Amino acid sequence: MFALNTILHPTDFSERSDVAFQLASSLAKDHGAKLLVLHVVQPRAVAYGEAISDLALKECMEKAWQDIERYRAKEGSGLVVEHLVEEGDPATRILQVAADRGCDLIVMGTHGRRGLARLLMGSVAEQVVRKAPCPVVTVKQQFPAQTEEAAKAEAAQAM
């Protein structure tokens, strides 16, 4: 059987990342794995070739830490979670964290861009899938709505 000890969930705080977080959390809980929640702050290019100021970068990092805090309420009990905020190119940093931390799985959302939008903007998920040192699960859309019976059964188990 495929052992899962460490699962990496890179997030950009989008709705698709939230759905991927739900899946990553469920997998981590089911396998007794540690969950790493990572957000990468990408320095913005500034007009006229100026570098991003240290103050602006510090503000972006602080905002990222505030945003990542919202995951704490969703984590639930019995889950070991570590939060990380890194600076740099998202795909590069995700791959580096996965390699450095010995991740067994990456679970991330994807925006599902196609054609010219993907060509112009690139795809972080695509780069990660191509170069990752471990399997990658990408989540493109919401899970099908739960039936009322399944929701009641889940609520009863939580009690």
Position 66: which residue type?
Answer: Q
The pair of structure tokens assigned to 152 is 């009641």
CATH number of 6-158: 3.40.50.620
Question: Tens digits of per-residue pLDDT, 56-85?
Answer: 778 888 888 888 887 776 777 778 899 999
Q: pLDDT: is 150 or 33 the higher one?
A: 33
Question: Tens digits of per-residue pLDDT, 94-149?
Answer: 999 999 999 999 999 987 555 554 444 458 888 999 999 999 999 886 655 554 55
pLDDT for 120: 45
pLDDT for 144: 54
Sequence spans of domains, the chain:
6-158
- Reduced to 3 states (helix: H, G, I; strand: E, B; else coil), residue 148 is helix
pLDDT for 28: 94
Q: Which residues lie below 8 Å from residue 28, measured CB to CB, with a gap of 6+?
A: 4, 7, 34, 35, 79, 80, 81
The rounded mean pLDDT for the chain is 80
The angle subtended at Cα 131 by Cα 128 and Cα 135, nearest 5°, is 70
